[in-house]
Amino acid sequence: MLHDLDAEQIPRHVAIIMDGNGRWAKARGKPRLFGHKAGAAMVRETIASAIDLDIKYLTIYSFSTENWTRPEDEVSGIMALFVEVLSRELQNLQEQNVRVRIIGDLAPLPEKTRAAFENCVSETSCNTGLTLIVAVNYGARADIVHAVQAIAHEVQDGALQPADVSPEIFAAHLSTAGIPDPDLLIRTSGELRVSNFLLYEIAYTEIVVTDTLWPDFDHDEFFACVAEYQARARRYGGV
Ligand code: IPE
Ligand code: IPE
Ligand code: MG
């Protein structure tokens, strides 16, 4: 598959809405958490694929600000799963030179889960390879509102003039500050919506939706999405 791709047109930043764990489990007569476990296991392969392809930034949507509305046992199961996966994968991330960044608010997470994420970020902070951005308790609207509040404070303090607020200044106040906008957004499991993910950053991102459920999204599926991206003509409003 790899040789079918154009090495000159590899997306620098790929963002993924990892959807379909529940349906994958349901199809097997299993509880939803069984699907989340299978989905979490697939992330290791996704990271390996991104490294193979020389992608520089990979953002994965792992828990949204709206996912708290799910049944209590599913939420607590996911929170425990984060702890398990982060401790299991840390060594692998180090070996692969992956730097982990978080977008989203960790404060409302259970203490152990928050600590596991913070540990992973600090332990990998000197790595220089792939940047893995994990969106956890992330919602683009909350992130945008947070940026507006921060800018309002700076204006109030006289550090910034209202007329100086530009798209670039605004982007610098989002949790994705310093990260280039995604070139490719992949959503698995066929839903044609963005579900409050990176609303500001995806203005000119190419979107690929696959019917494959997240736990089945392997190397070949990833490469096929990149191939579809490479067949697109990006125009940015031009001709
Ligand atoms: C994505 O899979 C994982 C999270 C949102 C945490 P879902 O749990 O949304 O799976 P479906 O969409 O119900 O199949
Ligand atoms: C988006 O999936 C969030 C994550 C993948 C973490 P959802 O399953 O929560 O989105 P909806 O409910 O289908 O819009
Ligand atoms: Mg879903």
Asked whether 47 lines ligand 2 (CB < 6 A), one says no
| β-sheet bridge partners, residue 208 | 186
Predicted pLDDT at 4: 86
Question: Whose structure tokens read 């607020």?
Answer: 165
- Ligand 2, atom 8: closest residue by C-alpha: 19
Question: Whose structure tokens read 């079918």?
Answer: 4
Predicted pLDDT at 2: 59
Asked whether 63 lines ligand 2 (CB < 6 A), one says yes
67 included as an active-site residue: yes
Q: How far apart are the first and last CA of the chain?
A: 31
Predicted pLDDT at 164: 97
- Tell me if residue 112 falls in helix, strand or coil: helix
Predicted pLDDT at 66: 98
Residues 40, 217: contact at Cβ < 8 Å? no
Predicted pLDDT at 1: 56
Which stretches of the chain drop beneath a pLDDT of 50?
Answer: none
Q: Is the Cα dihedral 4, 188, 61, 203 positive or negative?
A: positive
Predicted pLDDT at 81: 98
Asked whether 196 lines ligand 2 (CB < 6 A), one says no
Question: How many angstroms separate the alpha carbon of residue 169 from the centre of ligand 3?
Answer: 33
For the entire predicted model, the pTM comes to 0.98
CA distance 234 to 202: 13
Question: Whose structure tokens read 């953002």?
Answer: 59
Alpha helices in the chain, H assignment, sequence order: 21-26, 32-52, 72-95, 111-123, 140-156, 167-171, 219-230
| AA identity, residue 65 | T
Asked whether 21 lines ligand 2 (CB < 6 A), one says no
Predicted pLDDT at 206: 98
Residues 19, 64: contact at Cβ < 8 Å? no
Q: Which of 10, 22, 89, 84 is nearest to 50 (CA)?
A: 10
SS percent in the chain: helix, strand, coil, step 5: 45, 15, 40
Point out the ligand nearest to the CA of residue 214.
1
Question: How many angstroms separate the alpha carbon of residue 115 from the centre of ligand 1?
Answer: 24
Asked whether 59 lines ligand 2 (CB < 6 A), one says no
CA distance 106 to 115: 9
Distance of alpha carbon 25 from the chain centroid: 22
137 included as an active-site residue: no
* 161 Cβ contact partners less than 8 Å away, ≥ 6 residues apart: 155
Catalytic residue among 67, 119, 127, 196: 67
Question: How many angstroms separate the alpha carbon of residue 195 from the centre of ligand 2?
Answer: 6
Asked whether 193 lines ligand 2 (CB < 6 A), one says yes
Catalytic residue among 4, 6, 19, 183: 19
Angstrom distances, CA of residue 211 to CA of 73, 112, 177, 190 = 27, 34, 31, 4
Predicted pLDDT at 3: 62
